[in-house]
Structure 1
Amino acid sequence: MTNTWKVTTSALALAAAAGVSGTALANDDVLRLSRDPANVVMPSITYNGWNYSALDQINLNNVKNLQVAWTWQVGILDNHEASPLVIGDTMYIASPKPNYVYALDLNKEGVIKWEFRPTMDVALATAQTCCGSQTRGLYYAEGKIFYSTLDGQNIGLDAKSGEQLWRTVGTDITRGEGMAGNNIVAGKLFIGGNEGGEFGVRGKVHAYDINTGRNMWTMYNMGPNNEVGIGARFNKNYPYMAGANPALDSWFGDSWKRGGGTSWGYFTYDPDLKMFYYSTGNCGPWNPDYRREWGKIDLAANGTLTSYHNNFCASQMARDAVTGELIWAYNISPSDMWDLDEPLITPLIDLNIGGQTVKTAVKAARNGMFYVWDRATGKLVNEPWMHTYQDIMTGVDMATGLPKYDITKIMFTDLADRRRYTQSDPMANNKPADYTGTEVVFCPGIAARNWEQDAYSPRTNLVYTATDNSCGALRMIRGDYTPNNATTGGYRLRVTLSGAPTVGLDGRPTTIQGQLIASDPAGRKIVWKREWPSDANRNPILATASDLLFQGGTDRGVLRAMNARTGDIVWEFRAGARFHQSPITYSQGGKQFVAIIASSAAANTAVAANAAPDNANRYRRSGTTLYVFKLPG
């Protein structure tokens, strides 16, 4: 307790020194600008993470008339995952490697006002990171642009001139620890996290003063209380976190030091509660034998795990936005061994449940289950339900908050250990040539969805999520952790196998790989779904006040508009390249615009002139073009 108090008082002292008070937490400039739908001041548009715009000039009746207003060539062939910002008459764009920033003049159809090029070892950053060379967002406040580069730099720029105001280094890229650029500005703090859970990195979040770049605090997602920010305010809602050091005692030995659980997803923020919300990545390594007593699993009769929960990787987190203290946490997939990262947006929604308004945080999780928490306390509001087929668990025990695991889906390195718990043959069909009997086939396979933002519409009360029906197959292997191992395969300790099926929500094999689903979080049900046969189509979704959804498609290289109440497609535009970011919509001169960057990395050029008409690659080429659309006139 003494150590925890030292950390939290230190954080409070730093916050006070920076002029951040406990009663002035919302950044007034960000709040003011985000209330005007003409602007887009952050990814997902507003602090609550809805990715919803109040603009309605483009509607169901006239969207068919959308036309290209102007285009702009980005000139960097890669997958662009960061959506543009719009503040006043300026659009701001961040590129993938080498993470340039551009300011475009909207009065002159995209003439470049300024360009910022960070000093960056692109080759090192690309080699030392896991899953692409993107940065996923820019952030605006008080005349400044903030962002993080892949190699771990946090940078503050003058929004008018592009001049660098400050620069700090938040991660060690030489050991595979980078930053994906998913951050948030809360008060006077620029808050973000790290990535690198595949390489023995320990997950953390850190906060920097927006005026100076000074590090105000750093909190880890696992380890001793004082390093995690666990003190008297932490809500121990369920028995699995009741120990003296819940983020330490749930790990075997010092495995928490390499435990993954990085923070590379989008953040949301409640200015009234002064809390920010995020979720953590997969446990590291994937092989759970390195995080528990070797070959041992303790499951209760109902399948709930009774030891080595590995708090808090693959978890939902809520922290005090001034001090970084952990207020509550929920382990979504304890002892995760299926790569069930949860780096997803956590929309904050006031739901009508049982006739009462409940302030909730919701998540269509990567394990295929939909969760609704009381965002003040972290308690489950209703029983989690399946939004995409999964067979890892049979449900969630509401008394303990734990999933009820199926023992046949638990991973073991050695066959003798597996045989002590189950005699099932995990790959009765499609056995690999080197079959050992330890392989496990499971659904979903490396996630029912990915990092891409959901959307929520207060008009329909539905959450919109892009999901994936693919299953997976893994075998655990032995290995040693060595620092700076990103370029030699990392610290996964698993082999991925082919031949896993694609399974629909009804548990039957299907040819439908991806879906766009509309979920009722209060009613615990899917209201409608749109299926994509040829591609997962896991792209972010934008909702508007005219009951429109916009989503870029990877399947045919098209931007689509859909009816938010039915899922019917009402407009399409073929760009000829893939999409990876959320569309945005903004207003200028009394007119509403929609903008998105169509992009494909150079590796995505598998286009065959003689491909079948329905072959996805027939329509996709490498390229990066910003498209801006408007109605005629």
Structure 2
Amino acid sequence: MTIGIPRLLKTCVSLAAIALVGAGVANANENVLTLSADPANNVMPNITYSGQNYSLLDQVTLDNVDDLQVEWTFQLGVSDEAQAPPLVVGDTMYVVTPKPNRVYALDINEQGAIKWEFRADDSNLDTIVPVACCGAQTRGANYAEGKIFFQSLDGHIYALDAETGELEWDVQNTDIDNAESMVGNGLIVDNLYITGMAGGEYGVRGYITAYDIDTGEKAWRFYSMGPNAEVGIGDRFSPFYDFDKIEDPAEASWMEDSWKNGGGSVWGYFTYDPDAKLFYYATSNCSPWNPDYRRPWGEIDIDETGTVQSYRNNYCASMLARDATTGELIWAYNLSPQDAWDLDEPSAPVLADINIDGADRKTIIRAARNGYFYVWDRLTGEILNDPWPFVYQNIFEGVDTETGSPRYNRDVLMFTDAEDRLKYTDANALTEEQIALLEEEAELYPDEPVDGPSGTEAVVCPTIAARNWENDAYSPQTGLLYTSVQFGCRSMRVVEGQYAYPATESYTLFEWAGEKFWRDREGNETDVKNQLQANDPVTGETVWSIDYVQPTQDPIMATAGGLLFVGGDDKGVFRAINAQNGEVVWEFRTGTQSSASPVTFLGPDGKQRIAFVASARPNMMAVAADAEPDSVNRYQREGSTLYVFKLAD
């Protein structure tokens, strides 16, 4: 039953109104700040406001990690990928499952005995599951002031009493009739719960919303693109680069009213700087993928260096910094102007204070989905490094640090019509072998959308993502950022279509045009599909990496014990890795894959524990006697189990 739902305020608060609130007065929620300062607790995904996913606990070390053993387990009862890391507050662990979204409170004094269980309303699942991209997930819960906050796939935000599980309030944040869902997590600052939404595949206009943590009353909502008042752009907006210093930057950078369905949803992670009183996040792909619907048809305003001059489509595929009290936009940076390749940016903007060129700087460090590694000044939005590719990619030819803009490779620019593409490049995007494969597919599958080469295909590396949403880890001990990356390439093309509001089917307007393949850092075809990379944000180097021939791309946790903990989908294992050199120092076979970050906490005896959820969706393929020895299917079965490890006495 839904209780205590207040009257919702206006969808968008005017800048005049938020000025009354006062600029820059946000404080980190003191309860959250105090609890997260104690490494015994985990009150939010990524452990602290910084997003580093780094724990100060150091009892488990390189010297004793071999002594880890299972202390207890818990069955989640949901056959799906669990992507939300558990929370631990005091003697209670809170676990949130994917659909149908159950919350368990487990007693860590009693080896995970259930204190209470809450089951979200599942009456809308039949409506939202078919249109939710990429699974029916939730990626985290938050704790503050005796409450657990979490989001359901159909756009509800629930506040529960942390002691009893009683529902305190419930609000509907999204319009499910417009295919808006919620798969991310929120941020608690002061008395506000700040959150986003998903649906970039369906022509939504992305937004973030803040709710009062005590009442559920809406405080404000701002959009990723559109008129200044609706985006939160006012006198305090101070972007670093000239491309953003134009009048109405989030509206004038779109053709006509294409911004109304421009994507830029917010389905990933937030971070927060309590000193600057700013919170940070990045937005999803531009919608539709076909850029001809966001610019004059078949035309791109690009100079001789490959820099897009107009219709840059702010602020999808972008990094944003906002005031945490008022929601005002302070600065923004468009990572992939006029994005046509689904370059979402959902991962956490990792905050770190590092020394660059002899000066201590407050930075955001990021291995971006577009394949480039960035370091920003988090107070101004200035790029502090020369962004560099950490995977093989052919979309950019570099980033101009004077203008802040990427220089595009004309050969991968997307156009609906072949004659338009030929105005900008005469490159043959597909090899003869790929063309023959497409023609063969068209004959074998005449009813499929892939119907042979059209002359508009482009081979894109990375396809969709050099990395995805999975939590990075940053270790202040090593100064390295640890990221799960992927090497996939594929040919694609954009197509003509029609969009009707509200969205009832995909608004992507593109097709895959060939089989996926993989290229190593030098661009050579390879069997390596994923890497775990350790990248140095100061030197711009990959210090070490681990190759995976079978797909594995999991969230990573770092600890002060000099270790990384991460799942291993390739073998269905849980691993500990030397954070300094990448040596795998311990493995435990779980029998399935993993999609949630590990967490670490202190048990009732004051000893360090490591908790990890191994989970997978139903696997319909049987393992044959002659299956390949390294077949992923051999090591992964459906199921969801929480493991808690401790050092042997």
Q: After TM superposition, is the score higher than 0.5? A: yes
Determine which of 618, 621, 630 is the counterpart of 1:614.
630
Give the alignment of 1:17-96 within 5 angstroms: 22-23=24-25, 25-96=27-98
Q: 1:150 matched to which residue of 2?
A: 153
Structure 1 residue aligned with 2:645: 629
Aligned to 2:15: 8
Q: Does 1:503 align with 2:519?
A: yes
* Deviation of the 1:609 alpha carbon: 5.0
The CA distance in 2 between the partners of 1:293 and 1:351, in whole Å, is 43
Task: Provide the aligned C-alpha RMSD in A.
Answer: 1.6
Q: Which amino acid aligns with 2:422?
A: R
2:348 corresponds to which of 345, 348, 364:
345
Name the structure 1 match of 2:600: 585
8 Å Cα contact 1:606-1:621 kept in structure 2: no
1:277-317 C-alpha deviation (Å, 9 max, x unpaired): 00000000000000000000111111101111000100011
Match of 2:70, SS state, is strand
Q: Distance in 2 between matches of 1:345 and 1:131?
A: 19
How much has 1:523 moved relative to structure 2? Answer: 1.2
1:202 corresponds to 2:215: no
CA shift in 2, pair 1:6/1:26, >3 Å: closer
Mark the runs of 5 or more structure 2 residues left unpaired by the alignment.
1-11, 440-451
Aligned to 1:435: 453
SS in 1 for 2:260: helix
Shift of 1:607: 4.1
Contact 1:441–1:500 (CA<8 Å) still a contact in 2?
A: no
Residue 605 of structure 1, CA deviation: 5.3
Residues 482, 451 of structure 1: alpha-carbon distance in 2 compared, 3 angstrom cutoff: same
Task: Tell me the amino acid that sits aligned with residue 499 of structure 2.
Answer: Y
Instruction: Map residues 368-383 of structure 1 onto 2, 5 A cutoff.
Output: 368-383=371-386
Distance (Å, rounded) in 1 between the aligned partners of 2:613 and 2:483 = 20
Structure 1 residue 122, shift from structure 2 partner: 1.7
**Which SS does the other structure have where 1:602 is aligned?**
coil
Letter in 1 for 2:587: E
Letter in 2 for 1:272: D
The within-5 A match list for 1:412-451 is 412-429=415-432, 430-431=434-435, 432-433=438-439, 434-451=452-469
Bigger shift: residues 517-526 or 477-486:
477-486
Q: Is the 8 A contact 1:607 1:621 kept in 2?
A: no
Distance in 2, matches of 1:394 and 1:305, equals: 13
TM-score, normalisation: structure 1: 0.96
- Within the candidate set 208, 224, 227, 2:227 is matched to 224
Q: Counterpart in 1 of 2:303?
A: 300
Higher mean alpha-carbon deviation, 117-126 vs 453-462, is at 117-126
Work out the percentage of aligned pairs sharing the same amino acid.
52
Task: Choose which of 250, 270, 275 in structure 1 pairs with 2:273.
Answer: 270
Give, as a single letter, the amino acid of the residue that structure 2 aligns with 1:464. Answer: Y
Per the alignment, in what secondary structure is the counterpart of residue 422 of structure 2?
helix
Secondary structure at 1:33 match in 2: helix
Within the candidate set 396, 410, 413, 1:393 is matched to: 396
CA drift of 1:510 comes to 1.4
- Listed as ranges, the matches of 1:174-253 within 5 Å are 174-253=177-256
CA distance in 2, matches of 1:625, 1:223: 44
Question: Matched residues in 2 for 1:35 and 1:346: separation?
Answer: 19
Partner of 2:483: 465
Structure 1 distance, partners of 2:252, 2:619, is 44
C-alpha distance in 2 between matches for 1:398 and 1:445? 25
**What is the rounded CA distance, in whole Å, between the counterparts of 2:299 and 2:241 in structure 1?**
23
Counterpart of 2:614 in structure 1 is 598
Query: Which letter maps to 1:117?
Result: R
Which of residues 581, 587, 590 is equivalent to 1:572?
587
Structure 2 CA distance, aligned partners of 1:52 and 1:213? Answer: 31
In the superposition, the TM-score normalised over structure 2's length comes to 0.94
| 1:326-366 Cα distance to aligned partner (Å, 9 max, x none) | 00110000000011101111000011011110000111001
TM-superposition CA deviations, 1:32-80 (whole Å, max 9, x none): 1101111011000000000000011111011011110001111100000
Residue pair 1:303, 1:406 contacting (<8 A) in 2 also: yes
Alpha-carbon offset, residue 144 of structure 1: 0.5
Instruction: Kindly report which structure 2 residues correspond to 1:254-265, keeping only aligned pairs within 5 A, or say none.
Output: 254-265=257-268
Query: In the alignment, is the contact (CA less than 8 A) between 2:85 and 2:139 conserved in 1?
Result: yes
Contact 2:572 2:590 in 1 (8 A): yes
Corresponding residue of 2:7: none
| Residues 432-489 of structure 1: CA deviation (Å, up to 9, x unaligned) | 1211110010110110010001000000000000000111211111111122434x3x
Q: What's the CA shift for 1:239?
A: 2.1
Which amino acid is the alignment partner of residue 544 of structure 2? W
Equivalenced residue count is 623
Say which SS state the counterpart of residue 126 (structure 2) adopts.
helix
| C-alpha distance 457-110 of structure 1, shift in aligned 2 (>3 A) | same
Rounded Cα–Cα distance in structure 2 between residues aligned with 1:276 and 1:556 = 37
Residue type matched to 2:339 in 1? D
Distance 2:565 2:380 in 1: 34
Distance 1:201 1:296, change over 3 A: same
